[in-house]
Amino acid sequence: MNALNQLPLNIAAAIRSLFGDPHSIWADLTMDIISIILVIVLIVLAALILILLERKVAGWTSQRPGPNRLGPHGWFQTIADALKLMGKEDVTPAGADRLMFKIAPMIMFALPMMTLAVIPYGHGMAPIRLNLGIVYYLAISAVSTLALLMAGWSSNNKYSLLGGMRAVAQMISYEIPLVFSLLGVVMITQTFNLSQIVADQHTIPFIVLQPLAFVVYLIAGVAEVNRAPFDLVEADQEVVAGPFTEYTGLRWGLFFLGEYGNMTAVAALTTTMFLGGWQGPAILPGYVWFFLKVGIIIFFQMWVRWTFPRIRIDHLMGLAWKVLLPLSILNIFLTGVGIYIYQLIVPRIGG
Amino acid sequence: MSTVVFFIFAILAVASAWGVVTSKNIVHSAFFLALTFVGVAALYVLLNADFIAAVQILVYTGAVSIMVVFAVMLTLRGDVRESSEENRKWGWGLFTAGLLFVVIALVILTNTDWRILAGPWTVQNTAASLSKLLLTSYMIPFEASAILLTIALIGAVILAKGVKEDK
C-alpha cells in the first residue's frame, strides 16, 4: 500500500534522475511542463466523465434512462459528442469584436488550469507548491468574471451582453461570502499554504470545526460556477445561453471544458479546505481518497442542480448579501471566540 | 533568466498601458488595463512579493469587470466604437505627465534603500506575520484605507441613485 501511495512521487524522482543534476533548472522545467500537461489531462478527463455523469444523474433524478445508445449503458456518448463538436463550423458573428471574441474562451479554459495546479492531490503531490495557495486560488478565480464579460460583450448580441452583466453581478456578489467562509479555516491553521492546511487536518477534518463555513462555501461555490439553481448567467429560457449564445464548435467546447474545470476546482478546494484533502484511512492511497471526496462534492452539486428550480435574480442577490454574508461574518466571529476559549482552556487541563 | 522574464512582462505592461490610452473604444481600454495589471503582478512576483501580486490580480484585475459594467456601460452615449474621444490639450497633458515622472524619479533615485529579498520569502507563517503587521504597525493606514473605500462606496451609491430634492 505504501508503495502504491508513493508511486507518483517515485515516478517523479525517476524522471528527475534522468538529468545529470536532478535539481537543475532543466529538470525543474521538465517537471513543471509534465505537471501542467497532467492538469490539462485532468480537466479534459473530468469534463468527459462529468458530462456523462451529469446526464446520468439528470436522468436518475427525473426518472428517465439518460443517454443509453452508444456503448454499454451509453458510456461512449460524450466521446461521440466531443468528436461532433470538433467537426463543427467555427462561426464568428458579423458584428463581433473579433479578437476579444476569440480570446475569451481561451481565458476561460486557462483559469481552471492555473487553479488546479496548486491543489495538493496527495502527500507532497501539489504540482506547484505555493506558500500563498488560497490567496492565489481566489485571485485567479476572480478573473473568470472578466472572461464571461468579454464573451458577452464581444459577441455583439443583446442576450450575450445580458448574460455577461449577470455574470459580473452574480460572481462578484458571491465571491465575498466565498472568501469570508474560507477565512475561518485560515484563522485556525494560521497559514495560506494548502498542503499545510491538509496536514493540519490529520486528526479532524475542518468540516467538523467549521460546519457553518462549509455550508456557506458550498452554496457560494455553486453560484460561483454558475450552476443551477444559480445559473442565471446562462438561463436558457431567459437569455438563450448568456455569453455562450454566439459560440460554436471548439470555442464553445472550450467554454464547456472551462466550466467543468471550474466545477472540479471548486470541489477540489472544498475537499482541501474542509474534508481533509488526501487524508483518510490507509486502506486506499491518498490521491484515491482525494478524488473520491471530490467526486462526492461534484455529485452533490449535480444532485442540487437537478432538484431545485432556478432562483429569481433579486432573490439571488438577496441570498448573497443578506443571508450568506452575515452568516460568514458570524462564522469568523465564532471562530475567533472559539480559538480564544481553546487557548484559555488547553493550558489549564494540560492538553 | 529572470531578466528575460522581467522584460517580457515589463513590455507587456507598458504596451498594454499604451493600448489603454490610444484605444478608440473605451471597453478595449478597460480590458487593456486588466492586461497591464497582470503584467505588473508578474513584476511583483519577480520581486518576491507574492502576496502583493495575488492581491493585485484579485483587487485590480478582478475589478476591471466592475469598472466596465458600472463606469463604462452605465454612462455610455452613442457608438461604443468611437467612445474614447481624443483630448487636444497636449500641452497640459505633457506638463502633468512630465511633472509626475520627475517627482517619481526623484523619490526613486534619492531613496537608496531599495532592498530586494535575496530569495523567496521563506517565513512559514505568512498569514500570521501579515496579520500581525496589519493590526499593529500598519493599523492606521489599514483603517484609513477601509474608511476611504467606504466613502467611495457611499459616493457611488449617491451618484447612481441621486439625492431627493425635498430632504
Query: Domain containing B30 — which CATH number?
Result: 1.20.120.1200
pLDDT of residue A80: 85
A6-20, A53-67, A85-99, B63-77: least confidently modelled range: B63-77
A151-155, A169-173, A281-285: least confidently modelled range: A281-285
Tell me the chain B residues in contact with residue A169 when contact means C-beta distances shorter than 8 Å: 69
CB contact (8 A) between residue B62 and residue A132: no
Counting one residue from chain A and one from chain B, the pairs whose CB atoms sit within 8 A come to: 73
Q: What secondary structure does DSSP assign to A160-228, as a single string?
A: HHHHHHHHHHHHHHHHHHHHHHHHHHHHHH----HHHHHHTTSSS-HHHH-HHHHHHHHHHHHHHTT-T
Half-sphere exposure of B9 (CA within 13 A, CB side): 17
Query: For A176-195, what is each residue's pLDDT tens digit?
Result: 898 899 888 888 888 888 88
pLDDT of residue B121: 59
**Residue B95: pLDDT above 60?**
yes
For residue A99, the chain B residue with the least C-alpha distance is B28
Q: Which of B1, B31, B127 sits opposite A100 (nearest CB)?
A: B31
Q: What is the distance in angstroms between the Cα of A100 and the nearest Cα belonging to chain B? A: 9
**Residue B102: pLDDT above 90?**
yes
Q: Is B160 part of any domain?
A: yes
What percent of chain B clears pLDDT 70, i.e. is strictly above it?
Answer: 77
* pLDDT classification of B122: cutoffs 50, 70, 90: low
Containing structural domain, residue B134: 126-167
C-alpha cell of residue A304: 442540487
What percent of chain A clears pLDDT 70, i.e. is strictly above it?
Answer: 99
Query: For A214-231, what is each residue's pLDDT tens digit?
Result: 999 988 888 888 887 888
Q: Is B152 part of any domain?
A: yes
For residue A25, the chain B residue with the least C-alpha distance is B1
Query: What average pLDDT does range A244-260 have in this prediction?
Result: 84
Q: How far apart are CA A41 and CA A57, in angstroms?
A: 23
* pLDDT classification of B144: cutoffs 50, 70, 90: very high
pLDDT of residue A330: 92
CB contact (8 A) between residue B65 and residue A190: no
Q: Do B79 and B9 belong together in one domain? A: yes
Q: Do B2 and B73 belong together in one domain? A: yes
Q: Is B99 part of any domain?
A: no
Q: Is B22 part of any domain?
A: yes
Q: How far apart are CA A295 and CA A289, in angstroms?
A: 10
pLDDT of residue B49: 76
Q: Do B72 and B17 belong together in one domain? A: yes
A161-165, A263-267, A269-273, B48-52: least confidently modelled range: B48-52
Q: Is B89 part of any domain?
A: no
> Residue B57 carries which DSSP code?
I
pLDDT of residue A333: 92
Q: Do B77 and B156 belong together in one domain? A: no
Half-sphere exposure of A38 (CA within 13 A, CB side): 17
Q: Do B11 and B78 belong together in one domain? A: yes
Contact A159, A245 (CB under 8 A): yes
Q: Is B163 part of any domain?
A: yes
| Comparison of pLDDT for B122 and B107, the residue scoring more | B107
* pLDDT classification of B165: cutoffs 50, 70, 90: low
A81-90, A127-136, B155-164: least confidently modelled range: B155-164
Query: What average pLDDT does range A18-32 have in this prediction?
Result: 77
Letter string b/e over residues A69-105, b meaning 16 or more CB atoms within 10 A of that residue's CB? eeeeebeebbeebbeeeeeeeeebbeebbeebbebbb
Q: Do B7 and B73 belong together in one domain? A: yes
pLDDT of residue B33: 87
Half-sphere exposure of A221 (CA within 13 A, CB side): 26
pLDDT of residue B100: 94
**Residue B71: pLDDT above 70?**
no
Q: Do B72 and B9 belong together in one domain? A: yes
pTM: 0.83
**Residue A307: pLDDT above 60?**
yes
- Mean pLDDT, rounded, of chain A: 84
Domain end call among B84, B118, B151: B84
Chain B positions touching chain A (beta carbons under 8 Å): 1, 27-28, 31, 34, 50-51, 54-55, 57-58, 61-62, 64-66, 68-69, 73, 120-121, 124-128
pLDDT of residue B78: 62
Q: Which of B51, B61, B121 sits opposite A143 (nearest CB)?
A: B61
**Residue A73: pLDDT above 90?**
no
Judge whether A311 is closer than 8 Å to chain B, CB to CB: no
Contact A77, A55 (CB under 8 A): yes
Query: What average pLDDT does range A52-69 have in this prediction?
Result: 85
Domain end call among B16, B50, B84: B84
CB contact (8 A) between residue B50 and residue A132: yes
Tell me the chain A residues in contact with residue B124 when contact means C-beta distances shorter than 8 Å: 191, 196
List C-alpha distances in Å: B37 to B12, B16, B26, B142, B152.
10, 9, 17, 22, 21
Query: For B2-25, what is each residue's pLDDT tens digit?
Result: 788 888 888 989 999 988 888 877
Helices A249-274, A211-224: inter-axial angle, 10-degree rounding? 170
**Residue B64: pLDDT above 80?**
no
pLDDT of residue B101: 92
Judge whether A165 is closer than 8 Å to chain B, CB to CB: yes
Q: What are residue A311's phi and psi, to 5 degrees?
A: -85, 150
* Residue in A173, A176, A128, A211 with CA at minimum distance from that of residue A318: A173
**Residue A350: pLDDT above 80?**
no
Q: Do B79 and B145 belong together in one domain? A: no
pLDDT of residue A4: 73
- What ipTM does the predicted assembly reach? 0.77
Q: Do B77 and B131 belong together in one domain? A: no
Q: Is B102 part of any domain?
A: no
Q: What is the distance in angstroms between the Cα of B127 and the nearest Cα belonging to chain A? A: 5
Query: What average pLDDT does range A45-67 have in this prediction?
Result: 86
Q: Is B105 part of any domain?
A: no
pLDDT of residue B167: 52
| Comparison of pLDDT for A121 and A4, the residue scoring more | A121
Query: For A121-163, what is each residue's pLDDT tens digit?
Result: 877 777 877 778 888 888 888 888 888 888 888 888 888 888 8
Q: Do B77 and B153 belong together in one domain? A: no
Q: Do B73 and B131 belong together in one domain? A: no
Domain count, chain B: 2
**Is A24 in a helix, a strand, or coil?**
coil
CB contact (8 A) between residue B65 and residue A192: no
Letter string b/e over residues B3-22, b meaning 16 or more CB atoms within 10 A of that residue's CB? eeeeeebeebbeebbebbee
CB contact (8 A) between residue A149 and residue B124: no
Q: Do B77 and B2 belong together in one domain? A: yes
pLDDT of residue B77: 60
Domain end call among B29, B55, B84: B84
